[in-house]
């Protein structure tokens, strides 16, 4: 079996010499340095005081003090997703660890490599209901890819090196290491990482050549092929996105992407059909429905993507490249499973394709003709009243944001909260490169975007970092404006303020007889004053005439800005495939031909 | 493609794990967290150094679910090996039971007679009770228990199965 072996792995090498015995906290920091950790997002407390003391005495690792432990995890996620490195979080025992749980599950669902270091009560008190004791490994077992409780000083360096290896190997994910206070205070031996393979965890990253050959043969024969790419391509690193671009261009096939995969293939390219799924484009979804070969690279057939399962891409042969064998045949049975790294698989496909062409160029041309007809529906179209005192359409605000941000020529990173604004950001902003789009897809965590933007900005100090937000989500981690101020992070918080939990309001309108139960954002704060209270700059646009000016001022300002963009309160996000419906039962917006999308009773049960 | 509703099958899965704390919780959590069935589960260290344990799990599900269970088990960090004995061919599955029968007179004699036929041993005897020890395939133990029911059966304790492939092959 092929194993992903990282030079910086795991089990201890030579015996430590006497000089290598220091406090557990010092050993911890030394391992972090050896693992190239530059920054830790954290919040102190009793159980981690020895670690904070060790941090105080050194200069190579930077600590970013967040204002809530959940935000520490999201910040580390943003950092990891935008830099390709492993994010590191440090929290205290008890409430520090429990506050981190939402972030850990978020990272687990979205395959983000993280290390969460949590303080724990001293080993002799574990199990005694000691002050700020929680069964952290018990609580986080289903919330992490793996977790450890370090009970012996001799295990400390090995466990920490191993945690990094596990977090970034195979399908990446969060790994928690619970650190009892006595282990941090007392002496512990330091072991460097050794290159020895892990005892048991050795995910396969090299695809089987015959599986690739079979897949490429199917691609040659295909008449209506479609690439369906996902977050796994981003996980596989920028080379994988590069290979995807080459392969898509070589083959001339159309390409769609999940929410998590945006940016792997440039969204402005002609061969890109837009996102697929619940709020995907008409052409992407109908192509998924009508294709005869679906080439899934690093996507996991999520229910937001498949809609009604028995009607999902019913006529296609399915290829699925995934590094996690448990993702394959989990939801949709596929014909050609390929276990391995997306980047490697794409490179092997390129090599196998090179020098040949499609068996049937006429069929491919006809397929494109069909796709272009679907494209003609222009499913993302909306109507913005052009008069200066018109109400701003949220889609228009995002399009202007994109255009004006592009004019700055800066490297732009977008994070989002969760809701309609998130979907509009996926549909109307453009992503030319991977690692520029950070969103909470799997867990859909409101409050993700602002702390994630903190992490992105820390990892990319020269980047233009914008959180495209909703007013309700923003309030879930608004305290991070404090972090943003403290570290002078020039994050732009761009709030599409519709005074509603818009996504909830939309479902209530479409599925619950317009009974807007508890979805109005009552008693909203004045976001401009809020920005000022946190020593930032606030701006507001209430009409179309004010929009461009506010965006320009926001982009030109070199400090943090909160832009309160008051948008149409009743706008809905289209297209939409209602839960439980098939891809060809999409509801289009009022601007497109109204197609009656039937919402079944079964759909009401789904989320 | 439509997920075809198939009939559930029973599978015996053996998992070789690193003998570390929490590993059993991980395995069980995987089943409970995803709504999979565990019909029986046994675990004990199987190497000299006691660093590796073997877990034998009996579970039921469609073939897609069984495949998923195996892939999920294999993905756990402390798991060395996952083998589906049901898929690997003929295998042996044995368990041990302790069965308590409280009765007197005719019923008591009958219980003793049946236990003899099943090669169960009376490992504890009082004037009013027996504890029988019985080893065998789960079906054999089921039928023994069925027969004991009218004869004063009051309590059963079973180990769950240990399983192994027949012949020279190993997992
Ligand atoms: C309000 C809301 C609406 C949404 N609507 C949509 C929608 O309309 N369309 C949509 O697409 N999503 C939507 N989502 C997101 C959705 O819930 C899922 O998060 C998303 O579809 C999953 O993306 P993915 O399939 O790319 O998988 P990811 O979650 O990104 O998983 C990555 C997959 O790649 C594999 N992988 C990891 N690393 C590698 C590697 N190196 N090589 C190969 N494989 C690898 C992993 O094992 C995994 O199977 C929505 C979310 C929210 C909150
Ligand atoms: C922590 C959390 N709680 C609840 C939800 C359910 N939810 C999904 S979208 C949404 C409304 C979001 O409102 P807002 O941030 O204003 O965004 P909008 O949809 O209006 O753009 C809610 C409540 C969630 N995703 N996350
Ligand atoms: Mg809102």
Task: Note whether B49 contacts A: Cβ–Cβ < 8 A.
Answer: no
State the DSSP string of A8-68: S--SB-SPPPGGGEEEHHHHHHHHHHHTT--EEEE---GGGHHHHHHHHT-SSSEEEE-SS
What is the model's pLDDT at position A301?
Answer: 97
Residue A411 and residue A338 share a domain: no
CA distance A107 to chain B (A): 17
Query: Do residues A329 and B67 touch, judged by C-beta distance below 8 A?
Result: yes
Closest residue to B77, CB basis, from A200, A324, A325: A200
Domain with residue A458: its CATH number is 3.40.50.970
Any domain includes A582: no
Q: What is the mean pLDDT of residues A525-531?
A: 98
Residues in A touching B80 (Cβ below 8 Å): 199-200
Let me know if A471 is a catalytic residue: no
> Do A181 and A53 touch, CB atoms closer than 8 A?
no
Q: Is A35 a catalytic residue?
A: no
Break chain B into its structural domains and give their ranges.
9-88, 91-164
Task: State which residue of chain A sits closest to B29, comparing Cα positions.
Answer: A142
State how far the Cα of A461 lies from the Cα of A453, in Å rounded to an integer: 11
A181 catalytic residue (yes or no): yes
Separation of alpha carbons A144 and A146, rounded Å: 5
Q: Are residues A263 and A344 in the same domain?
A: yes
Q: Does residue A197 lie within any of the structural domains?
A: no
Of A20-24, A414-418, B76-80, B111-115, the range with the lowest mean pLDDT is: A20-24
Question: Residue A329 is nearest to which of B2, B64, B77, comparing CB atoms?
Answer: B64
What pLDDT, on a 0 to 100 scale, did the predictor assign at position A4?
41
B148 contacts: CB under 8 Å, gap ≥ 6? B99, B101, B111, B114, B132
Please check whether residues A104 and A224 belong to one and the same domain: no
Q: What CATH number is attached to the domain comprising A332? A: 3.40.50.1220
Total count of domains within chain A: 3
ipTM of the complex: 0.91
Same domain, A46 and A145: yes
Cα nearest neighbour of A316 on chain B: B1
Decide if B74 and A325 are in contact by the 8 Å CB cutoff: yes
Whether residues A358 and A423 fall in one domain: no
Per cent of chain B over pLDDT 70 is 97
* CA A445 to ligand 3 centroid distance, Å: 14
User: Which of A189, A224, A250 is the last residue before a domain boundary?
Assistant: A189
pLDDT at A274 over 80: yes
Q: Answer yes or no: do A200 and B64 touch at CB < 8 A.
A: no
- Boundary (domain end) residue, out of A375, A404, A438: A375
pLDDT of residue A358: 84
Dump pLDDT digits (tens) for B87-127.
998 999 999 999 999 999 999 999 999 999 999 999 999 99
- Cα(A109) to ligand 1 centroid in Å equals 8
Domain that holds residue A92: 2-189
Does B84 touch chain A if contact means CB atoms closer than 8 Å? no
pLDDT digits (tens, 9 = 90+) for A26-82: 999 999 999 999 999 999 999 999 999 999 999 999 999 999 999 999 999 999 999
Question: Contact A326/B68, CB-based, under 8 Å?
Answer: yes
Matching CATH number, B9-88, of 3.90.550.10, 3.40.50.2000, 3.30.70.260, 1.10.3720.10: 3.30.70.260
Joined together, the tokens standing for residue B27 give 């395995």
Q: Which of A91, A256, A245, A102 is nearest to A177 (CA)?
A: A91
**Residue A489 shares a structural domain with residue A368:** no
**What pLDDT was estimated at residue B1?**
43
Do B9-88 and B91-164 have matching folds?
A: yes
Residue A446 Cβ contacting ligand 2 at under 6 Å: yes
Q: Are the CB atoms for A45 and A118 separated by under 8 Å?
A: no
Q: Check if A445 has its Cβ closer than 6 Å to any atom of ligand 2.
A: yes
Mean pLDDT of A480-508: 98
What's the gap in Å between the CA of B63 and the closest CA on chain A?
Answer: 11
Q: In this structure, is residue A583 part of a structural domain?
A: no
Q: In this structure, are A155 and A239 located in the same domain?
A: no
Question: Which pairing describes strands B91-102 and B162-165: parallel, antiparallel, or unpaired?
Answer: antiparallel
B100 touches chain A (CB under 8 A): no
Domain co-membership, A6 together with A100:
yes
Mark yes or no for CB contact B22/A141 under 8 Å: yes
Q: Are residues A411 and A553 in the same domain?
A: yes
Residue ranges of alpha helices (H) inside chain B are 23-33, 63-75, 85-88, 105-117, 138-148
Percent of chain A whose predicted confidence (pLDDT) is above 90? 91
**Chain A CB contacts of B2 below 8 Å:** 309-310, 314
Asked, for residue A237, whether it belongs to a domain, the answer is yes
In this prediction, residue A606 has a pLDDT band, given cuts at 50, 70 and 90, of low
**How far, in Å, is the centroid of ligand 1 from the Cα of B123?**
58
Q: What's the mean pLDDT in A254-268?
A: 98
Pocket test for ligand 2, best of A110, A259, A417, A418 (most atoms within 8 A of CB): A418
Is residue A413 domain-resident?
yes
| Residue A17's pLDDT band (cuts 50, 70, 90) | low
Q: A543 and A457 share a domain?
A: yes
Q: Are A54 and A163 part of one and the same domain?
A: yes
Q: Name the residue among B3, B29, B80 with its Cβ closest to that of A200.
A: B80
- Residue that the structure tokens 């935008």 belong to: A82
Q: How confident is the model at residue A580 (pLDDT cuts 50, 70, 90)?
A: confident
Q: Residue A404 pLDDT > 70, yes or no?
A: yes
pTM for the model stands at 0.95
Instruction: List pLDDT tens digits, range A333-388.
Output: 999 999 999 999 999 999 999 988 888 999 999 999 999 999 999 999 999 999 99
Compare CB distances from A310 to B2, B17, B74 and report the shortest one's residue. Answer: B2
d(CA A339, CA A347): 14
Domain B91-164 in CATH 3.40.50.620: no
Residue A492 bears catalytic tag: no
Q: Is residue A128 part of a domain?
A: yes
Q: Which atom of ligand 2 is nearest to the CA of A473?
A: 15
Domain annotation covers residue A601: no
What span, in angstroms and rounded, lies between the C-alpha atoms of A202 and A565? 49
Residue range A437-463, pLDDT digits in tens: 999 999 999 999 999 999 999 999 999
SS3 for A157-175, per residue? HHHHHHHHHHHHCCCCCEE
Q: How near does any CA of chain A get to the CA of B68, in Å?
A: 6
Instruction: Give chain A's mean pLDDT.
Output: 94
Residue of A26, A35, A41, A69 with catalytic role? A69
Please count the CA atoms within 13 angstroms of the CA of A530 that sit on its side-chain side.
18
Indicate if A476 and A332 belong to the same structural domain: no
Average pLDDT score over residue span A404-431: 98
Selecting from A137, A166, A312 the residue whose C-beta is nearest the C-beta of B77 gives A166
Instruction: Give the Å distance between the CA of A422 and the centre of ligand 1.
Output: 14
> Alpha-carbon distance A187 to A118, whole Å?
19
- For residue A283, pLDDT over 90 is answered with yes
The preferred substitution site among A174, A262, A299, A330 for testing ligand 1, maximizing ligand atoms within 8 Å of CB, is A299
> Ligand 2 centroid to A78 CA: how many Å?
19
The verdict on a CB contact (< 8 Å) between B25 and A325 is: no
Nearest alpha carbon, ligand 1 atom 1 = A419
């Amino acid at each position: 079996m092929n194993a992903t072996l990282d030079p910086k792995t795991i089990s201890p090498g030579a015996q430590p010499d006497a000089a290598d015995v220091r406090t557990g906290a010092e050993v911890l920091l030394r391992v972090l340095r050896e693992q190239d950790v530059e920054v830790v997002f954290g919040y102190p407390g009793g159980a981690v005081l020895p670690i904070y003391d060790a941090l105080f005495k050194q200069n190579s690792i930077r600590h970013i003090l967040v204002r809530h432990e959940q935000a520490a995890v999201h910040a580390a996620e943003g950092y990891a997703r935008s830099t390709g490195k492993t994010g590191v979080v440090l929290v205290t025992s008890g409430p520090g660890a429990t506050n981190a749980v939402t972030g850990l599950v978020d990272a687990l669902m979205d395959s983000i490599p993280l290390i969460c270091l949590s303080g724990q009560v001293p080993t002799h008190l574990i199990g005694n209901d000691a002050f700020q004791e929680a069964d952290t490994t018990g609580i986080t077992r289903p919330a992490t890819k793996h977790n450890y409780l370090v009970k012996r000083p001799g295990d400390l360096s090995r466990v920490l090196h191993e945690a990094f290896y596990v977090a970034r190997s195979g399908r990446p994910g969060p790994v928690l290491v619970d650190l009892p206070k006595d282990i941090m205070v007392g002496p512990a031996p330091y072991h460097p990482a050794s290159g020895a393979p892990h005892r048991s965890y050795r995910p396969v990253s090299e695809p089987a050549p015959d599986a690739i050959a079979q897949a490429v043969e199917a691609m040659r024969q295909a008449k209506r092929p479609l690439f369906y790419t996902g977050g796994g391509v981003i996980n596989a690193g920028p080379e994988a996105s590069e290979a995807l671009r080459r392969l898509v261009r070589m083959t001339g096939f159309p390409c769609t992407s999940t929410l998590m995969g945006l940016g792997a293939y440039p969204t402005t390219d002609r061969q890109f059909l837009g996102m697929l799924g619940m709020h995907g484009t008409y052409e992407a979804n109908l192509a998924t429905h009508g294709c005869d070969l679906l080439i899934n690279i690093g996507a996991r057939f999520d229910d937001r993507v498949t809609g009604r399962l028995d009607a999902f891409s019913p006529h296609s042969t399915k290829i699925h490249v995934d590094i996690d064998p448990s993702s394959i045949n989990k939801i949709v049975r596929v014909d050609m499973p390929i276990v391995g790294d997306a980047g490697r698989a794409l490179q092997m496909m390129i090599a196998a394709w090179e020098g040949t062409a499609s068996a049937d160029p006429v069929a491919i041309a006809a397929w494109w003709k069909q796709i272009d007809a679907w494209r003609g529906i222009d499913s993302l179209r909306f109507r913005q009243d052009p008069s200066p005192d018109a109400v701003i359409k949220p889609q228009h605000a995002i399009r202007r944001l994109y255009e004006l941000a592009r004019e700055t020529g800066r490297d732009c990173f977008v994070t989002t909260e969760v809701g309609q604004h998130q979907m509009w950001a996926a549909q109307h902003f453009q992503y030319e490169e991977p690692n520029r789009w950070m969103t909470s897809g799997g867990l859909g965590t409101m409050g993700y975007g602002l702390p994630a933007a903190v992490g992105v900005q820390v990892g990319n100090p020269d980047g233009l970092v914008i959180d495209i937000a909703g007013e309700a989500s923003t309030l879930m981690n608004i305290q991070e404006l404090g972090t943003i101020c403290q570290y002078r992070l020039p994050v732009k918080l761009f709030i599409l303020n519709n005074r509603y939990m818009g996504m909830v309001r939309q479902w209530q309108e479409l599925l619950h007889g317009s009974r807007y139960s508890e979805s109005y954002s009552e008693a909203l704060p004045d976001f401009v004053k809020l920005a000022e209270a946190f020593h930032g700059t606030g701006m507001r646009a209430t009409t179309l005439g004010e929009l461009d000016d506010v965006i320009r001022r926001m982009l030109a300002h070199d400090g943090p800005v909160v832009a309160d963009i008051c948008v149409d309160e009743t706008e809905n996000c289209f297209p939409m495939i209602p839960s439980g419906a098939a891809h060809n039962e999409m509801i289009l917006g009022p601007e497109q031909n109204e197609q009656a999308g039937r919402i079944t009773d079964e759909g009401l049960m789904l989320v | 493609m439509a997920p075809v509703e198939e009939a559930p099958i029973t599978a015996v899965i053996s998992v070789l794990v690193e003998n570390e704390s929490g590993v059993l919780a991980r395995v069980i959590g995987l089943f409970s967290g995803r709504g999979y069935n565990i019909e029986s589960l046994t675990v004990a260290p199987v190497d000299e150094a006691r660093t590796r344990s073997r877990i034998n799990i009996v579970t039921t599900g469609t073939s897609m679910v069984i495949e998923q269970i195996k892939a999920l088990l294999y993905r756990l960090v402390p798991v060395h090996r996952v083998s589906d004995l049901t898929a690997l061919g003929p295998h042996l599955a044995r368990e041990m039971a302790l069965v308590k029968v409280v009765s007197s007179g005719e019923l008591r004699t009958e219980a003793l007679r049946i236990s003899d036929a099943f090669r169960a041993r009376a490992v504890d005897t009082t004037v009013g009770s027996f504890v029988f020890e019985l080893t065998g395939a789960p079906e054999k133990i089921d039928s023994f228990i069925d027969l004991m029911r009218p004869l004063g059966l009051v309590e059963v304790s079973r180990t769950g199965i240990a399983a192994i492939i027949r012949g020279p092959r190993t997992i």
